[in-house]
């Protein structure tokens, strides 16, 4: 049954996946089993996206199927079933920029690869990032931007982390269409990734102490 | 320079026409849709450029005068703030309306047509747009949800139309539309005035029309990115029908450029780049319809400028199907040597000068990059100098390096 659920999600059989998960829960399956299936399905989809077999349509449909299946499980059961993540990551699109599609793909891929991701949304001020880093103590801060004005917002965010004495506590990665290593230097980040797979590779390297 | 503006105008026009026709011009042309830069360069906050049309024109005159592009955009990319405000546009945020005063306007993703409304759109797109899309897009036009269908005006159908126009909430919406119309007329008059002024100085206008790819017409302001990407899998037939319906509409938009001195129709594709769709999905939902638009525009003497802002490397083989010497492809992320190899003898290419270099690099970095682009894809014509994506922030000395170096080194 669990394999069927994985199969339904990864082959874009959205309605079947939700019906199957509901049936399994009704028949006494553990929340843990359903969540494991979700995790497995997410890995497969992420892997196929990485190998350029899947694209945005598949990410959108499987992402929504996963959300609907997970929603069938009570929040406290969901909480209890979550394992220890590789690292904790705070992600957001920087001040003045409201683009979110790229950031969501990155968040999806990081989650699929066993990182815990807290998404602050778009147009996030330097102050809010600093506050989150201070409170949530993530290992990694991922800054997204689609416009050239994001360069300066990123630079200000990194500077604000420094001013708050938090710069050494967190690794900073940047991404988004107009970014590259020149921009990384300019804003003072630790790494730049051209796509979601690069974000995963960088986060893995960092979580392994590299 | 002793040449008269008339001579300069013809030289610039010819330079671009030659590059597109894959003939060798006198030198590599420079045409670059700088978006915010002309205003920051002139010290005009973008918010002001969107509201004070005279100041926007002044800034653009300064930009054109100082940098001497081969074709000029003028203030068309600073959309007019007043009518957006009057209508209460919801799918944009702009300077002073949800964004800081120096920021460029940005699109707010949403489903402005729901998944179950495809049939309604297909049956009568005009009525769908009037009664559903307008009220969802513009706060001031909420009452248009009761707008009667024009298709029912026959016989005594028209009586219903006039009765509904008299309702108080409809009067209010119509008054807002009228006011926005007046404000837009003011803006269009400003654009026309600028075009005449800049022509008198010897600069052709860089645009004669704008259009969209049919897939993006359905995906951008109707279904939204998430919506349309889901539809590729959930309801492919409906989506195909809608994209097909949007195709002649896209052609209609673009034909506005027919007959202009420089008949350039700019199309900014959004959702077909690498990473968005698989090649099979692209070949089914995206490319055939874009190709149809390109071919129809070319048949009427329009030059389609397809301004790609993502990575189009996997799409090159499709792009090579366009009629030779008639189309201009702009690339952001691209191996330009490969693009030249595939599209040489088929289409003019432009772009790829990293936009961030104009902000974060030095004039020497910019010159090095321009040299490499001209060496790689400027040989024998068919290349137009441009940045990778539209430029907002830049250091003036870097912009100057881009223009001066290209003028000097790009001579054939």
Mean pLDDT of B384-405: 95
CA distance B133 to B89: 11
Q: CB–CB of B233 and A58 under 8 A?
A: yes
Residue B20 has pLDDT above 90, yes or no: yes
Q: Is residue B132 part of a domain?
A: no
- The bridge status of strand B106-107 relative to strand B92-95 is antiparallel
Residue B184 has pLDDT above 70, yes or no: yes
Predicted confidence at residue B193, as pLDDT, reads 98
Give chain B positions within 8 Å (CB) of A177: 309-310, 332, 389
Q: What confidence category does residue A82 fall into, taking pLDDT thresholds of 50, 70 and 90?
A: low
Q: CB–CB of A59 and B229 under 8 A?
A: yes
Predicted confidence at residue A79, as pLDDT, reads 65
B202 at the A interface (CB within 8 A)?
no
Chain A: residue whose CA lies nearest to B357: A182
CA distance B391 to B393: 6
ipTM (interface predicted TM): 0.92
pLDDT, tens digit, for every residue of B24-50?
999 999 999 999 999 999 999 999 999
Instruction: Specify the domain boundaries for CATH 3.40.50.280 within chain A.
Output: 88-207
Give chain A positions within 8 Å (CB) of B356: 148, 151, 178-180, 182-183, 186
Residue B99 has pLDDT above 80, yes or no: yes
pLDDT, tens digit, for every residue of A19-44?
999 999 999 999 889 989 998 999 99
B9 to chain A, closest Cα gap in Å: 32
Predicted confidence at residue A149, as pLDDT, reads 84
Residue B16 has pLDDT above 60, yes or no: yes
Mean pLDDT of B99-116: 91
With a pLDDT cut of 70, the percent of chain B lying above it is 100
B278 at the A interface (CB within 8 A)?
yes
Residue B73 has pLDDT above 60, yes or no: yes
Residue A77 has pLDDT above 80, yes or no: no
Q: CB–CB of A60 and B229 under 8 A?
A: yes
Q: CB–CB of B106 and A147 under 8 A?
A: yes
CATH of the domain spanning A2-81, picked from 1.10.1240.10, 3.90.700.10, 3.40.50.720, 3.20.19.10: 1.10.1240.10
Work out the mean pLDDT of chain B and round it to a whole number.
Answer: 96
Q: Is residue B146 part of a domain?
A: no
B234 at the A interface (CB within 8 A)?
yes
Q: Is residue B202 part of a domain?
A: yes
Chain A: residue whose CA lies nearest to B34: A148
Q: CB–CB of B106 and A54 under 8 A?
A: no
- Spell out a b/e string for A191-205, using b for 16 or more CB atoms within 10 Å of the CB, else e: bbbebbbbbbebbbe
B379 at the A interface (CB within 8 A)?
no
Among the residue ranges A53-67, A76-90, B86-100, the one predicted with the least confidence is A76-90
Mean pLDDT of A92-106: 91
Mean pLDDT of B170-199: 98
Domain count for chain B: 1
CA distance B170 to B361: 54
Look up residue B335 and give its DSSP letter.
-
A88-207 placed in CATH 3.40.50.280: yes
Q: Is residue B141 part of a domain?
A: no
What CATH number does residue B24 fall under?
3.20.20.210
Residue A8 has pLDDT above 60, yes or no: yes
Q: Is residue B373 part of a domain?
A: yes
Q: Which of B99, B360, B391 sits opposite A182 (nearest CB)?
A: B360
Q: Is residue B260 part of a domain?
A: yes
Residue B313 has pLDDT above 70, yes or no: yes
Predicted confidence at residue A148, as pLDDT, reads 82
Q: How many CA atoms lie within 13 A of A24 on its CB side?
A: 24
Surface-to-core class of residue A49, CB atoms within 10 Å of its CB (0-12 exposed, 13-18 middle, 19+ buried): buried
Q: Which of A55, A60, A148 sits opposite B391 (nearest CB)?
A: A148
Nearest to B224 by CA among B85, B141, B132, B115: B115
CA distance A75 to B376: 57
Give the mutation candidate from A8, A57, A184 for the B interface (greatest B CB count, under 10 A): A57
With a pLDDT cut of 90, the percent of chain B lying above it is 93
Nearest to B169 by CA among B137, B133, B143, B130: B143
Q: Is residue B340 part of a domain?
A: yes
Say if residues B35 and B104 touch (Cβ distance below 8 Å): yes
Residue B318 has pLDDT above 80, yes or no: yes
For B355-380, the DSSP string reads TTHHHHS-HHHHHHHHHHHHHHH-TT
Look up residue B348 and give its DSSP letter.
E
Instruction: Specify the domain boundaries for CATH 1.10.1240.10 within chain A.
Output: 2-81
B237 Cβ contact list (under 8 Å, min separation 6): none
């Amino acid at each position: 049954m669990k394999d069927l659920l994985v199969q339904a999600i990864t082959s874009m059989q959205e309605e079947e996946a939700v019906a199957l998960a509901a049936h399994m829960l009704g028949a006494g399956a553990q929340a843990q089993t359903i969540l494991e299936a979700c995790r497995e399905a997410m890995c497969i989809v992420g892997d196929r996206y990485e190998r350029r077999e899947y694209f945005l349509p598949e990410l959108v449909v499987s992402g929504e199927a996963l959300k609907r299946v997970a929603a069938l499980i009570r929040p406290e059961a969901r909480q209890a079933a979550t394992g220890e993540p590789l690292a904790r990551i705070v992600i957001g699109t920087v001040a003045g920029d409201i683009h979110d599609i790229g950031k969501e793909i990155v968040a999806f891929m990081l989650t699929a690869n066993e990182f815990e991701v807290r998404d602050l949304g778009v147009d996030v001020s330097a102050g809010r990032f600093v506050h989150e880093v201070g409170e949530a103590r993530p290992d990694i801060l991922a800054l997204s931007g689609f416009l050239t004005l994001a360069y300066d917002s990123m630079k200000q965010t990194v500077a604000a982390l420094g001013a708050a004495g938090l710069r050494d506590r967190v690794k900073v990665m940047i991404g988004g269409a107009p970014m590259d290593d020149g921009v990384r230097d300019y804003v003072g980040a630790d790494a730049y990734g051209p796509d979601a797979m690069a974000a995963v590779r960088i986060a893995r390297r960092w979580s392994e102490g590299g | 320079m002793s040449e008269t503006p008339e001579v300069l105008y013809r030289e610039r026009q010819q330079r671009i026409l030659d590059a597109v026709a894959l003939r060798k011009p006198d030198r590599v042309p420079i045409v670059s849709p700088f978006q915010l830069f002309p205003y920051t360069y002139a010290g005009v906050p973008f918010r002001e450029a969107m509201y004070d049309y005279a100041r926007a024109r002044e800034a653009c005159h300064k930009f054109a005068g100082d940098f001497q592009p081969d074709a000029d955009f003028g203030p068309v990319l600073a959309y007019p703030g007043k009518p957006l405000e009057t209508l209460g546009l919801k799918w944009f945020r702009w300077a002073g309306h949800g964004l800081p005063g120096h920021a460029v306007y940005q699109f707010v993703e949403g489903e402005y047509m729901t998944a179950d409304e495809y049939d309604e759109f297909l049956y009568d797109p005009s009525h769908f747009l009037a009664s559903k899309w307008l009220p969802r897009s513009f706060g001031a036009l909420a009452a248009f949800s009761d707008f009667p269908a024009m298709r029912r005006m026959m016989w005594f159908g028209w009586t219903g139309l006039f009765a509904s126009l008299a309702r108080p909430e409809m009067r209010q919406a119509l008054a807002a539309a009228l006011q926005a119309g007046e404000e837009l007329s003011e803006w269009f008059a400003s654009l026309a005035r600028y075009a005449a002024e800049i022509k008198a100085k010897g600069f052709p206008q860089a645009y004669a029309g704008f259009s969209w790819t049919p897939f993006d017409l359905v995906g951008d302001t109707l279904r939204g990115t998430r919506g349309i990407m889901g539809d590729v899998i959930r309801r492919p037939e409906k989506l195909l029908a809608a994209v097909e319906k949007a195709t002649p509409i896209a052609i209609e938009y673009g034909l506005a450029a027919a007959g202009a001195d420089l008949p350039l129709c700019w199309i900014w594709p959004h959702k077909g780049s690498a990473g968005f769709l698989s090649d099979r999905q692209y070949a089914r939902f995206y490319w055939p319809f874009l190709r149809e638009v390109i071919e129809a525009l070319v048949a009427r003497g329009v030059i389609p400028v397809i301004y790609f802002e993502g990575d189009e490397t996997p799409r090159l083989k499709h792009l090579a199907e366009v009629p030779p010497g008639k189309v201009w492809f702009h690339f952001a992320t691209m191996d330009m040597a490969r693009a030249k190899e595939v599209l040489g003898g088929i289409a003019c290419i432009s772009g790829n000068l990293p936009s961030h270099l104009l902000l974060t690099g030095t004039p020497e970095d910019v010159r090095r990059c321009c040299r490499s682009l001209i060496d790689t894809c400027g040989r024998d014509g068919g290349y137009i100098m441009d940045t990778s994506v539209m430029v907002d922030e830049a250091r003036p000395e870097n912009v100057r390096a881009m223009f001066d170096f290209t003028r000097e080194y790009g001579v054939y």
